[in-house]
Amino acid sequence: MKRKIVNIIFLITGLALLLMLGTACTGTLGAEPLEEGEYPPLVERLAERFGLDKDEIMDFLEQLKDEKSLEMEERFQDRLDELVENGDITSSQEEAILEKKEELEAFKEYMEDMTVSEAREALKDLREDLKDWAEENDLELKYLFPRAAKRGERGGFFIFGFGCRR
């Protein structure tokens, strides 16, 4: 029971951090979203400093992001396979986790155009849905958010790319 409470505390803390980071990184606090053809300040400065093409920098950053995403997905799948092998979860629970991960990806896209207050409400609802889902599938949320249980590391929704907008 104590472990379950600790996991819920980690989830709530992760959601709170997500909300704070999301608030700081979205355009709703006075920063204007980039127009078509504009680049983030970092890309502008790199291009200016090193005489590089801005489009090439953006392409390179996208490539790095895609590679990192693939690595994370592979590690996540490997971790789930290991949990099944060790008997910590069943293969049907593994499938439930993978389905929920896809739902979270869709939720991430759904949140992109929300204001901070809308996102806050949506995250509250999501938190309750995740608790119910975990109970229905006889799972601890640490299997869906494996890094959230580790101290000193980002966890929770960051695994699925929740956080700052591009």
Residue ranges per structural domain of the chain? 2-160
Instruction: Assess whether pLDDT exceeds 80 at residue 136.
Output: yes
Closest of 110, 93, 135, 20 to residue 12, by C-alpha: 20
Rounded average pLDDT over 84-110: 92
| Whole-model pTM over 0.75 | no
Per-residue pLDDT tens for 18-66? 555 555 444 444 445 567 778 899 999 999 999 999 999 999 999 999 9
Give me Rg for the CA atoms of the chain.
18
Per-residue pLDDT tens for 65-92? 999 999 999 999 999 999 999 999 999 9
User: What angle in degrees, to the nearest 10, is found between the helix axes of 2-25 and 116-136?
Assistant: 160
- The per-residue pLDDT of the chain, averaged, comes to 78
